[in-house]
Amino acid sequence: MAPDLGTGWWTYIKYDQEHDRPKMSWALLRRVWGYAKPYQLKVMGLLATIFAITGLSLIPPLLYRDLIDNAIINGDTTRLNWLALGMIGIPLLSAAVGFGQRYLSANIGEGLIADLRNALFNHMQRMSLRFFTHTKTGALMSRLNNDVVGAQRALTGTFINIVTNLVTVVATVTIMFSLEWRLALLSIAIVPIFLAPTRRVGRKLREIRRQSLNLNARMNNLMQETLNIDGALLVKLFGRQSDERERFRQRSTAVANIGVRSAMVGRWFFMGLGLISAVGTAVVFWIGGHMILRDVFTVGTLVAFGAYLTQLYGPLSSISNAHVEFATSMVSFERVFEVLDLPVEIRDRPEAMTLPDVTGRVSFRDVTFSYTEGGDGGSALLGLDIDRHARDYDATVTKVVQKASRTKALASVSFEIKPGELAALVGPSGAGKTTVTYLLPRLYDPTAGKICLDGHDLRDMTLDSLANAIGMVTQETYLFNDTLRANLRYAAPDATASDLEAACRTANIHEFIAGLPDGYDTVVGARGYRLSGGEKQRIAIARVILKNPRILVLDEATSSLDSQGEALIQEALERIMKGRTSLVIAHRLSTILDADVILVLDRGRIAEHAHGAQNHSAHEQLLSREGLYAKLYHTQFRNAC
């Protein structure tokens, strides 16, 4: 428990320093300086403006003293006129320097925000799919937005305030001692009486700030979940609009209440500062008045002292809490660095090679894989406390994931696909089919074993060359909220209009696009919601055609489409698979009948497989064995032609 204030203000201050002060390390400060170093000349200019503005702010009280002690008493109108001009000129000059300070501060701050955001975004782009399946999108957005802005404010806000306050206090105290050392000592002696309550209010404000961030995060998370298309659709389908409105009302009200509480506590804080200034000024004028009556110094000196007191107590109070404020503001940098320090699981080896001519021979050699094991950063990602306000939830999820990790998605899987062959993956739900298609383009690395392309381990190839060699059409097509032209050119930025049209004709989607009012300039909406499922899949096929990969990885699910859309997609798939090595999660009997290789997966293992021969297709061979494939054929594929 905190000690009673009755035991003495110094005891309380020591306790507060030891138990409430955030910790900083020189390593953190050096790293922060690494981001500020490119702006060091501007930082020096910013410091120069701080010294200039502080120096200018110290001149007016001296003008007041000269006005009272010399100009008025001696009836010197010329001096009076010059002093009046000085009282106008000094603020104008200070404002001009302040304009330059604001420009430098904004330039440094916005540049720092851009640098941090670029660093974060670039690092996230290098992360494996495992990273995105184990973190919350809202939390990542918070790092890119709130924490980056908070980090910028630590340098261009808190740091500037601390330096300004230090310079102001040193300069003001120096001048006060030069004017009258006894009054200067008296002015400073009053300050410690008010430090304990001031620091206590500061600690309370930090606690409220943390609560406010938590409540804002919960409110923002609700908005993100319910205001995107998927969330809005779910809410409407289940008729939960009133419930969501009430949930949002509660969270927004909590944010408002904490804001009111912060304002009231802050008001007490500023009232304390005002009390310091009032008491200090009263005591100084009281003692100073007696000294004037004894002709110790002039009235002008006392007036100047009163002006300097207003410039002393505020900065002094801020400096007393400066270390805490700065360390607290550095939390944003720590949160940014948490993400930047995450290891990149899927990356190029230093000696990674580029295959100029890929033939398309694919082989899995004793491949074992678990979604929560292996890799250079998997365990680290699971341990990332990406949302500080959801520790209990994350702990529960981690236990569930760790339990699930005991079952491997793939176990000692081996097979080979020759160049130009069509390999069909079949098996019950959860057998590992999708995992195989994720491993080939190296969205994950195997926990054990290796995957080879043209005899080379995928880990020995550059990621760019692998991405160029493999094209993938997933069951759920993702489209950006942009034009059809932009979505198609995502695969080939340099594609001409004729290239787009040719690809779309091959994918059986050109006639549909040509019939739209804006044609290829039609905006598809968020996630392509303005298009049907079949239309989106044909756009995805056209996009892969533009990429022109040597290897195709396809999930040809068409069960949710009408017969016409299914036929168009099937025809398009047959066109693009010709001459290419294709790995297909097969949902149609026609695809299986055409397959050169059929791989039957069950519980992460190859239960059966067959290569087509001249007299017997792979389908016929597996059907004659009367195993799992035959069972799947009779229950799933027989009527799915």
Q: Where are the domains of the chain?
A: 181-296, 362-370+408-637
Whose tokens are 């390999």? That residue is 423
pLDDT at 285: 84
Rounded to the nearest integer, the mean pLDDT of the chain is: 80
- pLDDT at 202 > cutoff 60: yes
- What would the mean pLDDT of 179-203 be, rounded to a whole number? 73
Paired residues of 278 in beta bridges: none
CA distance to 97, 246, 359, 430, per residue, from 365 (Å): 69, 55, 19, 21
Confidence band, pLDDT 50/70/90 cuts, at residue 368: very high
pLDDT at 178: 87
- pLDDT at 193 > cutoff 70: no
pLDDT at 93: 94
CA 330/CA 327 separation, integer angstroms: 5
- pLDDT at 327 > cutoff 70: no
Check residues 618 and 569 and name the one with the higher pLDDT.
Answer: 618
Instruction: Please give the backbone phi and psi of residue 555, each rounded to the nearest 5 degrees, phi first.
Output: -115, 100
Count of alpha carbons within 13 angstroms of residue 107, beta-carbon side: 14
Percentage with pLDDT > 90 across the chain: 18
Confidence band, pLDDT 50/70/90 cuts, at residue 529: confident
- pLDDT at 86 > cutoff 80: yes
pLDDT at 223: 81
Give the Cα-Cα-Cα angle 506, 507, 509 (nearest 5 degrees): 110
- pLDDT at 538 > cutoff 80: yes
Write the pLDDT tens digit of every residue in 575-609.
888 888 999 988 777 788 888 999 999 989 999 99
Highest mean pLDDT among 183-197, 274-288, 398-412, 532-546: 532-546
Amino acid at 48: A
Write the pLDDT tens digit of every residue in 115-173.
888 888 888 888 878 787 777 666 677 777 777 877 777 777 778 888 888 898 889 88
Concatenating the DSSP letter of every residue in 51-111 gives: HHHHHHHTHHHHHHHHIIIIIIHHT-HHHHHHHHHHHHHHHHHHHHHHHHHHHHHHHHHHH
- What would the mean pLDDT of 26-35 be, rounded to a whole number? 81
- pLDDT at 15 > cutoff 60: no
Check residues 63 and 271 and name the one with the higher pLDDT.
Answer: 63
Candidates 593, 574, 201, 604; CA nearest to 428 is 604
- What would the mean pLDDT of 268-274 be, rounded to a whole number? 70
pLDDT at 16: 41
Domain 362-370+408-637 has CATH 3.40.50.300: yes
- pLDDT at 19 > cutoff 70: no
pLDDT at 187: 81
pLDDT at 13: 33
Instruction: Say if CB 209 and CB 258 are below 8 A apart.
Output: no
Confidence band, pLDDT 50/70/90 cuts, at residue 611: confident
pLDDT at 314: 75
Paired residues of 460 in beta bridges: none
CA 43/CA 203 separation, integer angstroms: 30
Residue 128 tokens read as 């494996």
- pLDDT at 450 > cutoff 90: yes
* CA 501 to chain CA mean position, Å: 38
- pLDDT at 391 > cutoff 50: no
Residue 223 tokens read as 């908005």
- What would the mean pLDDT of 418-431 be, rounded to a whole number? 90
The model's pTM: 0.73
Confidence band, pLDDT 50/70/90 cuts, at residue 401: very low
pLDDT at 28: 78
